Structure 1
Amino acid sequence: MQKIYVLSDIHGQSRAFFEMLEKIQFSSEDKLYIIGDVVDRGPDGIKLLEYIRGQKNMVLLMGNHEDMMLRTMNDEESWYETWLFNGGGVTLASLMSFPKEEQERCIEFVKNLPLYRMISVEGKQYLLVHAGIDVSRGESEEQIAAMDRDTLLWIRREFFNAKLSCPYTVIFGHTPTGALLYYAKDLPEESREQAAAFHITRWDRRIAIDCGCAYGENLGCLRLNDQKEFYIKI
């Protein structure tokens, strides 16, 4: 049986990523969805992008850090300082060390990353998206497709504190789960305990999987077939 995994926000931590692949015994028969933010802050973002690009059974979604990288490389000057402030310097230096053709292939790969994916596993439907959705603008796939990229890549409070009525579960990264204690006002007690430990956090049709890899906490991975959680400590 094919095993379906999701993880997010690797942020250049290649050691943790490859240790996770070993831990879950990831094989060519399995599939891994990575919900954005492979680059920045850690040292190996470009190396990871290049690796993921070569894997037929890995699907990378756009994260806000990949988007900042793209906007900067497209000479949108207003984004340069924002990207560097958010840990983009190490990614930029790494990218510039590659031959021009390889740089262009990497940028083209990132440019074509999807903003979201709707998938079904074991009869359950999931929306995979980096940050979340604007529930006030609707929850159907058609309405999600019409949402602007900044919403899907950056939203926090408005998504965390809205009531969901969708038939799917939203799996997202972007916000380290420990920060949910600050942003999400009505987390149930069990969810608060998960968040405080920087573990995968579940509540009200939501699963948060950014476990603070960028901040020395955990890289988390969820197997959707049986909901088993895996962690690598940074």
Structure 2
Amino acid sequence: MQNVYVLSDIHGQGRAFFEMLEKIRFSPEDKLYIIGDVVDRGPDGIQLLEYIREQPNMELLMGNHEDMFLRTMDDEESWYETWIFNGGGVTLASLMSFPKKEQEQCIEFVRKLPLYRMITVENKRYLLVHAGIDAALGDSEDKISQMDRDNLLWIRREFFNAALACPYTVVFGHTPTGALLYYAGTLTEEAREQAAAFHITKWDHRIAIDCGAAYGENLGCLRLNDQEEFYIKI
């Protein structure tokens, strides 16, 4: 049986990522979805992009940091300072150390990343998306495909505090789970305990999996087949 894993927001933490692959005993038969933000803040973002690109059983989705990277590479000057402020300097320096052809291949890989994926594991449906959805616009797959790119990559409070009645669970990153205590007023007591520990946090059709790797906390990984959680301390 194929094991299906999800993680997000690696933020250049190569050691933690490869330790996680060992911990879950990731095999060629398994599948790993990475829900954005491989780059920035930590030192290994470009190397991780290159590694993931070469793996047939790994799929990377667009995160807001990949989006800032791409906008800057496309000479959208208004995004350069925002990207650098958010940890893009180490990614830019690393990219520039590669030969021009490899730089172009890396940029094209990022350009083609999907914004979301709808998958089914053990007869349960999951929407994988970096930040969340604008539930006010509807939650059908057709509505999601029409949502603004920035909402899918950046949304917080509006998604956390909306009432969801969708026939799937939204698995997302973007917001470190510890920060949900500030942003999400709908958390259950159990979810608050999970968030306070920077662990994977589950509540009301939502699973938050950014466990704060960018801030010295944890890299979290969830196996969707049986909901087992795995952690690597940064």
TM-score bracket, normalised by the shorter chain, equals: over 0.9
Residue of structure 2 equivalent to 1:59: 59
Provide TM-score, normalisation by structure 2: 1.00
Residue of structure 2 equivalent to 1:191: 191
> One-letter code of the match for 2:126?
Y
Q: Deviations over 1:8-42 (max 9, x none)?
A: 00000000000000000000000000000000000
Q: Deviations over 1:196-221 (max 9, x none)?
A: 00000000000000000000000000
Q: Deviations over 1:127-165 (max 9, x none)?
A: 000000000001001100001110000000000000001
Matches within 5 A, 1:55-204: 55-204=55-204
Q: Distance in 2 between matches of 1:224 and 1:203?
A: 15
Q: Distance in 2 between matches of 1:143 and 1:75?
A: 31
Runs of 4+ in 1 over 2 A off after TM superposition: none
Residue of structure 1 equivalent to 2:9: 9
Q: Percent identity?
A: 83
> One-letter code of the match for 1:40?
D
Matched, 1:41 2:41: yes
> One-letter code of the match for 1:150?
D
> One-letter code of the match for 1:177?
T
Q: Distance in 2 between matches of 1:197 and 1:218?
A: 9
Provide TM-score, normalisation by structure 1: 1.00
User: Alignment partner of 1:90: what SS?
Assistant: helix
Residue of structure 2 equivalent to 1:20: 20
User: Alignment partner of 1:167: what SS?
Assistant: coil
User: Alignment partner of 2:95: what SS?
Assistant: helix
Shift of 1:169: 0.1
User: Alignment partner of 1:190: what SS?
Assistant: helix
Q: CA RMSD in A?
A: 0.3
Shift of 1:60: 0.2
How many residue pairs end up in the alignment? 234
Q: Deviations over 1:95-129 (max 9, x none)?
A: 01100000000000000000000000000000000
Q: Distance in 2 between matches of 1:32 and 1:120?
A: 14
> One-letter code of the match for 2:112?
N
Q: Distance in 2 between matches of 1:138 and 1:59?
A: 26
> One-letter code of the match for 1:176?
P
Shift of 1:186: 1.9
Q: Distance in 1 between matches of 2:179 and 2:199?
A: 11
User: Alignment partner of 2:87: what SS?
Assistant: coil
Q: Distance in 1 between matches of 2:133 and 2:226?
A: 25
